[in-house]
Amino acid sequence: MFRFMPEAASEIAPEVDKINYWILDLSLFFTVVIVGAMIYFAIRYKQKGDAPHETPRIEGNNILEVIWTVVPTIICIFIAYYGIAVYGKMRAVPTDAMEVNVTASSWKWDFEYANGKKTTHEAYIPVDKPVKFLLTSKDVLHSFFVPSMRVKSDAVPGMYTYVTFKPIKTGDYQIFCTEYCGKDHSAMLAKLHVLPQEEFEKWLEDRSVEEAQAAMSPAKLGATLYTQKGCNACHSLDGSRVVGPSFLKIFGRKGKLDDGTEYVADENYIKNSILNPMSQIVEGYVGQMPSFEGQLSDDEIGGIIAFMKTLDGSAPVEEAAPAEEEKVDLSKLSPEERGELLYKSKTCFTCHSLDGTGAAEGKLGPTWKGLYGRKGKFNDGTEYVADDAYITGAIKNPTQNIVEGYNPVMPQLGLTDDEISDVIAFIKAQKE
């Protein structure tokens, strides 16, 4: 009864489950026996009518006392013994374990392999090989939790902790942050990909993405980031006004901020605009840009500045294609997974959160959390229900019906009908 543990994908998992189920079954057994006896006695010995009812005086029973002291003691020793034994096994790091460095920060997981390969949000390990994730944190307490592997440990700033396990089947497993760490704690997720040995080695040796990035000129890197980080949702390259000022001829531009002070768009001004966007709002614009603090390295900011310097109007700019995504077989994914990919690749995330934050927190669009089926008002006062037809309309004609409290800033995405239904499947999964 109550066998609800998630998939067991590591060597230790069945042992953890065994103890867990013993304790669960024991607890269930004693709950039923004790509460059952209470209820039975309450009914059996209930005072009937007004008849006088004398409670007998009972002095105690030595045999009973011994039984209910000795039996639970033995059970507790038994549980403690197996608990400690399995815990010891769980913490013992095999000498041949592959080490992966994990750095937690608000709100992402970064992984680094022995050969220098780095990833974010995605970890790859070979099947049937012990692995050790060495954990630390850059800012606050986080906690690394892989339910399918039955391992969990805090990631603590200023010290190292670890989890170790041996995966026994290939597949993709969810990694959670399981220590409340601030606004996007619930979105601090990562995927653990357990691959066959050869496939893992191929992945580990493949440095094409890093090499391409390292070989990029700063301006090219900036152009890539422009689409990758979703800057394009609010800043045009052709001089047209979207939500924020256009990037065309931005470098060296002079103007006024909304408090009347004058600015010159030099390197420091641009860097500050990226890290503390609300501290300097250009006159005539509404301040609503999120900070990219911690999301862009100094090199990347330098790249964006270099990219802006190229936008002097001397040559037409081509929008850089987003960095080549890993080739995935879309037909093998569920509609929900394909919708999630679109959420990322079309940079919906710049304006639509998944954690319930919206206009009040400076987001430009309504959150997708609990969106499906939501009822509300448009800014012309008519009511809507967020069903399939509504979402399709919102994607196809984004500026037609605007939800109360928001501005018509969403661009045309040109999605196909199939892509729209994938996005809807993803939205449906974002339950309240």
Contact residues for ligand CUA (CB under 6 A)?
104, 107, 142, 177, 179-181, 185, 188
Q: Report the nearest approach of ligand CUA to the CB of residue 101 (Å).
A: 17
Give the C-alpha separation, 134 to 124, whole Å: 14
Q: How far is the CB of 20 from ligand CUA (least distance, A)?
A: 24
Q: Which residues partner with 119 through β-bridges?
A: 111
Q: Which residues pair with 152 in a beta bridge?
A: 145
- The distance of closest approach from Cβ of residue 236 to ligand CUA in the complex, given in angstroms and rounded to an integer, is 35
Q: How far is the CB of 257 from ligand CUA (least distance, A)?
A: 35
Residue whose CB is less far from ligand CUA, 176 or 200: 176
Closest approach of ligand CUA to the CB of residue 109, in Å: 8
Please say which residue, 109 or 292, places its beta carbon nearer to ligand CUA: 109
- CA 58/CA 355 separation, integer angstroms: 60
Closer residue to ligand CUA in complex, CB, 185/346? 185
User: 62, exposed or middle or buried, with CB in 10 Å at 0-12, 13-18, 19+?
Assistant: exposed
Distance (Å) of CA 2 to CA 11, 17, 20, 27: 22, 12, 11, 12
Hey, what are 219's tokens?
A: 């301006």
CB of 104 or CB of 320, closer to ligand CUA: 104
Kindly state the smallest distance separating residue 154's Cβ from ligand CUA, in Å: 10
153 neighbors 113 (Cβ within 8 angstroms): no
In the sheet that 171-177 helps form, which strands lie side by side, from edge to edge?
Answer: 122-126, 190-195, 171-177, 142-146, 151-155
CB 24 within 8 A of CB 2: yes
Nearer to ligand CUA, 192 or 424 (CB): 192
Q: How far apart are CA 40 and CA 34, in angstroms?
A: 10
Listing DSSP states for 25-52 in one string gives HHHHHHHHHHHHHHHHHHHHT---TT--
Residue 182 or 370 with smaller CB distance to ligand CUA: 182
Rounded-to-integer distance, Cα 269 and Cα 249, Å = 15
* Least separation in angstroms between CB 104 and ligand CUA: 6
Q: Which is nearer to ligand CUA, 68 or 180 (CB)?
A: 180
Q: Which is nearer to ligand CUA, 107 or 307 (CB)?
A: 107
Buried b / exposed e over 109-146, threshold 16 CB at 10 Å, is bbbebeeebebeeebbbbbeebbbbbbbbeebebbbbb
Give min distance, CB of 123 to ligand CUA, in A.
15
Residue placing its CB nearer to ligand CUA in the complex, 185 or 352: 185
AA letter at 86: V
Residue 403 DSSP code: B
As measured in angstroms, the least distance from the Cβ of 185 to ligand CUA is: 3
